[in-house]
Structure 1
Amino acid sequence: MLSPDQSHLQTAATMPKHNSLLRTKTSSFFSSCFLYAAGTSASFLLAWAFWSFFSSPAPSANPSFSRGLASEAALSCPAGKAGHNRSYDPPDPTFYDDPELSYTIEKTIKNWDEKRREWLEKHPSFAAGAADRILMVTGSQATPCKNPIGDHLLLRFFKNKVDYCRIHGYDIFYNTVLLQPKMFSFWAKMPAVKAVMLAHPEAEWIWWVDSDAAFTDMDFTLPLDRYKAHNLVVHGWPHLIHKEKSWTGLNAGVFLMRNCQWSMDFMEEWASMGPQAPEYDKWGVIQRTTFKDKTFPESDDQTGLAYLILKEREKWGNKIYMEDEYYFEGYWMEIVGTLESITDAYTGIEKRERRLRRRHAERVGESYGKVWEEHLKDAGYGRGSWRRPFMTHFTGCQPCSGDHNQMYSGQSCWEAMQIALNFADNQVLRRYGFVHRDLLDTSTVLPLPFDYPASDLVGGAS
């Protein structure tokens, strides 16, 4: 479990340089946080980050999004993805036939719960199981990276997300363009999320994941039952927002949002603080006045979200779940150094547990994830645990631009990314009979002998 007292080590959104050139670069519009440190050093680092980084249970009043809208529309049809009829779209009118419908962030969407419900009723093959259906959204810039290895790193981060989605049966949308040209940097996620909601009424949850975040536990699945009375899940610590009034009390680079009217309304208000809005400069002043540790003048999405949680709790806050019990996303500097010992701990479990050594098809991997949980009850979560961190976020590294935080070298960033990505890739390759022998050696793999790791791996593996 992540201790609230340790949460100040978590990163927060990195700020863009405020000029027209950087507004055209969307490399980091999907990454959003850096180290939150105590005392005066925090102010220095936060201010530096603005100039150096370009990044990107109260019961519900409406049961349609407290228990899952899709569950109400579930009809008798084959469960699971195999039953989806992708060639059937009846001629009956739906919200898509409304000429007033707009996918843009500026246009208000009304009665979205009803529209989704009607669409599911007309497409019954998608209704069954829709209450827990997740679609992941991520992306990167439209142009080549300035950092020579940036495009390679982004490709590997994307592969990591595709692997996780394939293993767990999730769809994924990768965006490379600004859907609202004025919403540069981290603001660009909002138009993308709204457009995806409209394009995928069959999905109950939209899961935004920054481009520089990697899944480092391929078996872990989101505890959706925990969020059934909420519409937005974000990694954060309530006391840092409500008591300390810190803009780094949450991380807006990874979030889970329910596909419902509440979310449409919330994004509209959240986006009203963005650079496309007439009161953008005003919101920058309000945010700095409210959160004293915010040192840069521009309004940003993370501080905007913290503001809505702090100041409009009755309207929005009770539907927002601030997750701090596991690495919903975790700061890379406190994670990467632990991966070797975590590997050793998991290998020890596999040597004792024959079920985990059994070869199996990738499609049935989730059943083995449950076996892992039997052995991880005492592992803990988050900082200090020996459980695989669910997601490792490379905030401050800026893999595309290369404009990393000067607290550490670019080389330390790139090597840490290779280690984390290969750590995750080993979990995938195991299902195909191979493994990286060294977490710093991306290109070399070894075939796994039968009954590994009870049997020896020739050449060794890290």
Structure 2
Amino acid sequence: MAADKKLLSPMKHNPLLIIFSSISLILVVVYTLRSIYPSPDLKPKIKILPLWQTDPDADSDETPGYIRRCSSSRRDNPSKTFYDDRKLRYMVGKSIENWDELRKQWLKTHPSFLHRSDKRVVVVTGSQPAPCKSPSGDHVLLRLFKNKVDYCRIHGYDIFYNNAMLHPKMTSYWAKIPAIRSAMVAHPEAEWVWWVDSDAVFTDMDFVPSLERFNNYNLVLGGSNDSVYGKNPSSLGLDTGVIYIRNCQWSMDFIEDWAKMGPQTRDYNRWGQILTSTFKDKLMPDSDDQSAMIYLLRENKKWSEKTMVEKNPKPNKNWSTLVTTLENVTRNYQTLERKFPKLRRRHAEVVGESNGILWDDHLKNLDNKRPTITHFAGCEPCGGESNSLYGGDEDCRLGIEKALNFADNQVLKRFGFMHPNLLDLTSVVTVA
């Protein structure tokens, strides 16, 4: 104890040492505080962001969609939104009023989603909840889903795969309507909902929809204007297997009118009779989603003036022709790569979208290009009973296999591999 007192005595009797120690302690505290709370002048000039988050101020149209969609909602305002309204319904038949304003308010309270919100897309697809009747059906559905996941990953789109009957009576082709309606409410940040049937294949993985062309429209799908609006309309005049629909009040109202012709309504049989008498080539007596949409567009200018029918002379019947050309298409692209070495340059998948822009100028004069989406209408890969009007079971099986492997090659190439035979899924070779 005595020794301890001797050690403390110099401090007690030396005022200079006390002052020096106090100043040192103050400097340490100040330095520590400034490290934690830097002054405005000392803040770093360079923005440091996580790898998965990009700087909104530096974003541009050339930034790959894979990166563009990433944003953090941690700073979003937790204020009440339309989701707090107990009267809100996701179900068809429960109309939402003032949807445009509700979406606008939601975006204001979630500012991290404001940037490029007019370009944001959510892809919606799905299949039946029960196992497939066809022995290979579930495997084919898995591959069809993989194809859509690959495409959405490359382009940064969110995807919703639904295999629940969101309305118990709206089955088969009518099931898409409640799925689209629910996706609009669940994704107020998305300007477009892009419905893609389960039996449709993305056969051009570089394809980017030109949303700017759709500025004056709320509904876009493939078909023939003459077959929709002409004197002799066809029940096949549109392809409702691939639909772009804007997330807005107009679409909400259109979906309600469209759904009123479905199997959940009392007028279902009456609508079947009306549609059968309107479309002379309609073989099924029941009301179907495709004929119903064409009827609405013909009868109501409110719907037709905001609908864009993209030229497709033979909707629902063109897959059999397209798949026979896929080997030639592959050779055409390989020829371009040999001619222009820059196109063969290797790149990471994350910049695949921007790399696709390099091909645009070279593809302008190419006749045999990759088909954007190949829809295997009538093939019923899950049900196992193909419609004879579109091709037999074997034609459908081979066609789907070819299209999926053709698309998969575009993905695998970025990983250094490819299928040498479009009818052989298991074999791959390395890409030089």
- Normalising by structure 2, we get a TM-score of 0.82
Q: What do the CA deviations read for 1:363-419 (whole angstroms, capped 9, x no partner)?
A: 11122212211111123xxxxx40100011111111001011235432221121111
Contact 1:105 1:268 survives alignment (8 Å): yes
Change (3 A) 1:330 1:288: closer
Contact 1:135 1:173 in 2 (8 A): yes
Find the counterpart in structure 2 of residue 362 from structure 1.
349
Q: Does 1:395 align with 2:382?
A: no
1:448 aligns with 2:428: no
Partner residue, 1:102:
89
Q: Which residue is equivalent to 2:153?
A: 166
Matched with 2:176 is: 189
Give, in angstroms, the shift of residue 424 of structure 1.
0.5
Which residue is 1:200 aligned to? 187
Alignment of 1:130-145 (within 5 A): 130-145=117-132
Shift of 1:82: 6.1
What are the Cα deviations for residues 34-78 of structure 1, in whole angstroms up to 9, with x where unaligned? xxxxxxxxxxxxxxxxxxxxxxxxxxxxxxxxxxxxxxxxxx867
- What CA distance in whole angstroms lies between the structure 1 residues aligned with 2:279 and 2:188? 37
Against the structure 1 CA distance between its residues 207 and 83, is the aligned structure 2 distance closer, same or farther, given a 3 Å change threshold?
Answer: closer
1:416 and 2:394 are equivalent in the alignment: no
Q: Higher relative contact order at CA 8 Å, sep ≥6: structure 1 or structure 2? A: 1
Kept after mapping to 2: 8 A contact 1:233/1:322:
yes
Q: 1:327 to 1:221 in 2, by over 3 A?
A: farther
Contact 1:330 1:389 in 2 (8 A): no
Mapping for residues 300-449 of structure 1, pairs under 5 Å: 300-312=288-300, 314-324=301-311, 331-379=318-366, 385-406=367-388, 408-449=391-432
Q: Is the 8 A contact 1:331 1:395 kept in 2?
A: no
* 1:330 Cα deviation after fit: 7.0
Structure 2 counterpart of 1:272, which letter?
Answer: K
For 2:103, the equivalent position in structure 1 comes to 116
**Residues 1:78 and 1:174: Cα distance change in structure 2 (over 3 Å):** farther
Tell whether the 8 Å contact from 2:221 to 2:310 is kept in structure 1 after alignment. yes
Q: Secondary structure at the match of 1:316?
A: helix
Contact 1:77 / 1:128 at 8 angstroms: preserved in 2? no
**Deviation at residue 223 of structure 1 after TM alignment:** 1.2
Task: Report if the CA contact (8 A) 2:122-2:193 is conserved.
Answer: yes
Q: Which stretches in structure 2 are left out of the alignment for 5+ residues?
A: 1-55, 60-66
Q: Quickly say closer, same or farther: Cα 1:176–1:147, change in 2 above 3 A.
A: same
In structure 1, what is the equivalent of residue 250 of structure 2?
A: 262
Amino acid at match of 1:268: E
What's the CA shift for 1:141? Answer: 1.1
Determine if contact 2:218/2:250 at 8 Å carries over to the other structure: yes
Structure 1 or 2: larger helix share?
Answer: 2
How far did 1:91 drift? 3.1
> Counterparts of 1:91 and 1:214 in 2: how far apart (Å)?
40
Q: 1:237 to 1:331 in 2, by over 3 A?
A: same
Task: Give the 3-state SS of the residue equivalent to 2:324 in structure 1.
Answer: helix
What RMSD over aligned residues (CA atoms) do the two structures have, in Å?
1.8
Q: One-letter code of the match for 1:84?
A: S
CA distance in 2, matches of 1:420, 1:326: 21
- Aligned partner of residue 402 in structure 1, secondary structure: coil
Give 3-state SS (helix, strand or coil) of 1:397's partner.
coil
Render the CA deviation track for 1:132-157: whole Å, top value 9, x for unaligned: 11100001111111100000000000
Offset of residue 87 of structure 1: 3.9
Give how far 1:308 is off. 0.9
Residue type matched to 2:293 in 1?
Answer: L
Runs of 4+ in 1 over 6 A off after TM superposition: 325-330
Instruction: Give the deviation of 1:81 after TM superposition.
Output: 4.1
What secondary structure sits across from 2:124 in the alignment? strand
Distance in 2 (CA, whole Å) between partners of 1:187 and 1:208 is: 13
CA distance in 2, matches of 1:257, 1:99: 26
Structure 2 distance, partners of 1:82, 1:253, is: 25
Q: Deviations over 1:187-225 (max 9, x none)?
A: 010001011110000000000000000010111111111
Q: Would the alpha carbon gap of residues 373 and 101 (structure 1) be closer, same or farther in structure 2, given more than 3 Å must change?
A: same
Asked whether the equivalents of residues 164 and 218 of structure 1 are also in contact (C-alpha less than 8 Å), the reply is: yes
Map Cα deviations across residues 240-294 of structure 1 (whole Å, 9 max, x no partner): 1222211111111110000000000000000000011121111111111222222
Q: What is the identity, as a one-letter code, of the residue corresponding to 2:429?
A: L
Match of 2:36 in 1: none
- How far apart, CA to CA, are the structure 2 residues paired with 1:349 and 1:326? 29
Taking structure 1 as the reference length, the TM-score comes to 0.77
Amino acid at match of 1:438: N
Distance 1:240 1:329, change over 3 A: closer
Structure 1: unaligned runs, 5 residues or longer: 1-75, 380-384, 450-462
| 1:327 CA drift (Å) | 10
Distance 1:293 1:83, change over 3 A: closer
Structure of greater Rg: 2
User: What is the percentage of aligned positions where both structures have the same residue?
Assistant: 51
1:325 to partner: Cα distance: 6.2
Q: Distance in 2 between the 1:330 and 1:77 partners? A: 46
Number of aligned residues: 368
